[in-house]
Amino acid sequence: MKKYYLLLTILLGFVPAAKARTLRLPMADTGKTNPAITYRLFKVDIMLGLWPNSSNNSNNGSVSFAVEPHYRLSEQFIMGLNIKGTGITLSDTYSSFLITGDYYFNHGKRESSVLLFTGAGLGVVTYTYTSFNIFSTNNPGPVSSSNLGGLIRAGLETGHFRGTFEYNITGNSYQYPSFTFGFFFGGGKKP
């Protein structure tokens, strides 16, 4: 477990203490520059994820809940910490703590109300299995294991809505795609 904390410390060490940047981007048709567009430094995503039944699993689908605070490094790149809990069945759960980065393709274009992005994350994923039998007094309690895992994703933001398609890598034999949707606080254009 110490190696995961060391990895997290190293990755966080690369996040510079930067202030919001102002970029002047050329407008597509005229060649003139846009007025300065400055975005807020921090934003927090609140996301709900769903994915259908997979062929190696007997459940009908699963649900996840994630909170992801972000820090803007530039107009097009943000880094965050994805904290997610996932319920596969009543006894199988995953929790993850991932350092993430998202790149926005059309950030800074004032006429665009939909922002497209792609991103990835790397960190610790913990699988927990809980065996419980109401007719027995010898319940062994939860068994858990932690692995290096991650995710890749693509999505869009409009207003304060965020939707993504993610492929989650748990570090063991169970990887899964999911659709997540939710909203965020902060992170928008400064008035």
List, in order of start, the domains of the chain with CATH numbers. Answer: 2-8+40-186 (2.40.160.20)
More confident residue, 165 or 7: 165
Residue 68: what pLDDT? Answer: 95
pLDDT band at 51 (very low <50, low <70, confident <90, very high): confident
Residue 116: what pLDDT? Answer: 92
pLDDT over 70, % of the chain = 64
Spatial distance between the Cα atoms of 94 and 110, rounded to a whole number of angstroms: 39
Spatial distance between the Cα atoms of 47 and 49, rounded to a whole number of angstroms: 7
Spatial distance between the Cα atoms of 76 and 61, rounded to a whole number of angstroms: 34
pLDDT at 109 over 90: no
pLDDT band at 139 (very low <50, low <70, confident <90, very high): low
pLDDT at 56 over 70: no
Taking the mean position of all CA atoms in its chain, how far away is CA 190? 23
